[in-house]
Chains A and B, each alone.
Chain A
């Protein structure tokens, strides 16, 4: 067990190192550098000023020095400085984190509580009308852009209720009910989309397990349908679902990027888009790296959970 964890940890660190290289390289892919872009936006270029800015940003040094310097910063927790705000990046990102985490957690709750039961029902009633309806329902969720779903929800509330939740952020300490409503809608939009994959995996995994001998035995013993499905079958069928939930977490961040923009929530994901549009590259670089760390950590967590749930993983190769 210990070697297994250490092994996974080593792979995770190597992957992160590789990802940091990819991110660093990607942001320097474009012809011209950040300083060019900044000056192009200003319309006027003073060579001396340009040199000064290059030096200030440490961009007059070779790439590998810059890369190593960035790695050092990440490891020591120094996230650099934002061009636009002229503030340490961490100071800007910190208040945004709870918003995104809350939304991500709520969306995940919606996704799981919508995806798993519909997947189970769909598998148990395989090829019935209900199965078809549920599958189309989940596939529709996968097909609608998250940002459009958000817009339609807002639009629908305006025309049917004549009321929409505040589109400026309300803190939970200020007005909890308003805060809850404000988060419920985007969580529904993102969660519905994410539930599709969970539903599909639950369905196919359960269908496979339901064909196994021990399930037939359970039926033959005369146990009730509820016990057979929820206690015997789902226990084994849930393993791939756990993996997908882990993967889904990464997928969810993509959904948050646009949903936070549509619902005007001051989270990290919306800030990433803004930083990209403002060409605030130190922020972009660090935020993407941050997302990479979150994704790798959640994958690691799933691996651990998997080895707890399924002893075969622990002792296998």
Chain B
């Protein structure tokens, strides 16, 4: 199955898997037998937890399994979101080309919102400072032949929040109304 096909398929997730995802989405416990600890909380066995994670890897729900680093703390203090306005019939080819460079961590096609927003490919380029990011983007332009493609680099100036995605908000009505109260106070 191609990546494009995979992305179009939102899976039906069982309640058990939903609970498992909730237990692991913010990371495994850092203990000798992490799956035993997860199993205990879910009322199942270590072996069951491991085999269901393996299934989530096999069916493509999990894209990568391992250590997730934070770039900024490792000296990659500049990240540029580089957005490109690419003719529709060339987005896939050029998106793949840009996505294969070491300094790039994302390459997504997104819709245009005309007239406000004409860019349809989003890539994330990391470097130790802005100059390095700009230089890497110039290299990519040359190597992928993007000289005639309009692009712009949006540098991040502040990080307000960064953590793993949460897929498991449950009782949304309750959580939303609770949020209203807190947010009004903040405002």
Whether chains A and B associate is no
B-binding residues in A (CB < 8 A): none
A-binding residues in B (CB < 8 A): none
